[in-house]
Amino acid sequence: MRNLAIGMALAFSLAATPAAWATDTSDPTLSTPPTQAVGAEQSRLDAALEKAGNGVQTGLIEDVRAVVDDPAFAGLPSDRRFLALKLLGAVLYDAKDMSGAHAALVRATQMDEADQAAWKLRFYSADDADKAENLLCLTVIANRWPEALGDVKASYIGDLVRDTADKPPLANARQQAMAALWSAHWPGDQSDYDADFIWKSLVDLYLDQGQTDKALAVAQSVSTPRNLILFSVDHRYDRLRQGLSDHLDISKAQALYSAHLKAVADAHPDSLDAINNLVWELRSEARLDDALGLIQTTESRINAAPSAKPAFSDTASRLAWLENNKAYILNLLGREQEAVTALQAATKLPDPDDGNNVSEVINLGAMLVNQGHPQEGLEAVAHIRKDDASMFGWMQAWDVRACAYAQLHDTAQFQAQLKLLLAHEADAPGALQDAYDCADDLDDEAAVLIRRLNNPDQRPDALLSSQTYVHPGHDSAIEAAAFARWKRLVARPDVQKALAAAGRIIDIPRYDAD
């Protein structure tokens, strides 16, 4: 949430207002004295400011509006007009009249006296749908008062940047906002918000514009192993690699990243989400015992907490993902039945981000299929309803079903799922590729991978999926066969040619990019 609580806007506005409200701020050197109307206007404004300062709000909106709407308002000194407009915006904000407040604050911020309070109130009162206005306010605040960004929920800022990504009319405003955020060192080292996607986006924009020096500077702020791997393997970043050589030491980078996630979790002891992020990174680094130990400690803390006071502020929304992560780790350790039990438990826990736990349900289906239980996998995903998942989610569900039917040698049903996957390939081409892999159809699988590598938007995920990662110590028979097929796939001359054109393959000391 970005908005001040109702009832605080007036106090917030007045806190940044010069104290000498009742002092005549007109220029004493003027040869023409104020007219009687202007003098009366100043008196009315002084009375309204005094009333506001004393906490009296009854009739305040009418009093301030009368000042601003009076023809004599134009005769007031600029700083007095600014105070009146800012005050009007604050009292209208407190009255929940966001449209009126915003109109007054736009006028106030166009004046030379515009201060942090006025710009923040303009931002807070702006319509969420007006992305151009929100980006403008964010940019001004980040450039002039970067410390004020801490008053705005980081996820709101991140969503604003993310939601304006593919809107050409807003491209310049979005880039200015991202650049201002980076210069402001937002969101801070101890923030639990991961802004890496913003810095990666800004790097890409600078590279597209030929601004290599700026791209290199921002790239130093990128810290997630996934993005650093991309910088290492994608030809798009060839211009940066020499300047990023030490930064692209993946072993060093992931150690720094997991240490950062631990520091964030320590700084936010009420955040289960922070624990989940650290657990998943430990899993990706093949530190399975550390990850499982952290989960067990976290579960003990959750179980020991009274129901009236949960161990974490987000227990209800993030517990399903803790169990989901636990299942993946147990499966990597070869404790397959325990993994299934944990994931089954996850499907029954509330997940506000995913109303019917469809992500956990699909993950359960995939795990069962990969363990060689295709019928159970089909049963796991059988009850997903039309509106339960996005098209990306449905692509994963159809992939689970296709792989299950491939194991069952049910060609008709496999082809039915394949038809759906083909019709929506652009939504998740990796799912289509995986379905062909499950059917041991390397020709069509290679064709999909090559299409992905040749598509600038799909190339990053395709390159990441093609790297040489640490192979888990435990493999089911199904997973072992899939790994053997993958080695045959990437060794094909047509795939090698496409990979060489898009990037390069390196050994990465992780289970996967994520």
Is the pLDDT score of 293 beyond 50?
yes
Residues 158-206: tens digit of each pLDDT: 999 999 999 999 999 999 999 999 999 999 988 999 999 999 999 999 9
- DSSP readout, 234-254? BGGGHHHHTTTTTTT-HHHHH
Residues 58-98: tens digit of each pLDDT: 889 999 999 999 999 999 999 999 999 999 999 999 999 99
Phi and psi at residue 259, in whole multiples of 5°? -65, -40
Do the beta carbons of residue 244 and residue 199 sit within 8 Å? no
- What is the rounded average pLDDT for all residues in the chain? 92
Do the beta carbons of residue 188 and residue 150 sit within 8 Å? yes
Closest CA to 251 of 259, 241, 243: 259
> Start-end ranges of CATH 1.25.40 in the chain?
9-184+198-206
Residues 463-483: tens digit of each pLDDT: 999 999 999 888 999 999 999
Higher per-residue pLDDT: 19 or 192: 192
Give the model's confidence band at 48: pLDDT under 50 very low, under 70 low, under 90 confident, else very high: confident
pLDDT value at residue 8:
56
pTM of the model: 0.88
- Please compute Rg for the chain using Cα positions: 29
Closest CA to 96 of 2, 160, 5, 12: 5
Is the pLDDT score of 9 beyond 90?
no
pLDDT value at residue 20:
39
Q: How far apart are CA 350 and CA 280, in angstroms?
A: 20
pLDDT value at residue 50:
86
Do the beta carbons of residue 65 and residue 88 sit within 8 Å? yes
For 259-269, b/e burial (b = at least 16 CB within 10 A) is ebbbebbeebe
Q: How far apart are CA 327 and CA 66, in angstroms?
A: 65
Indicate if the alpha-carbon torsion angle 431, 434, 436, 438 is positive or negative: negative
Q: How far apart are CA 117 and CA 11, in angstroms?
A: 10
pLDDT value at residue 21:
38
Asked: is 9-184+198-206 a CATH 1.10.3470 domain? The reply is no
pLDDT value at residue 53:
84
pLDDT mean over 405-432 = 98
Residues 95-108: tens digit of each pLDDT: 999 999 999 999 99
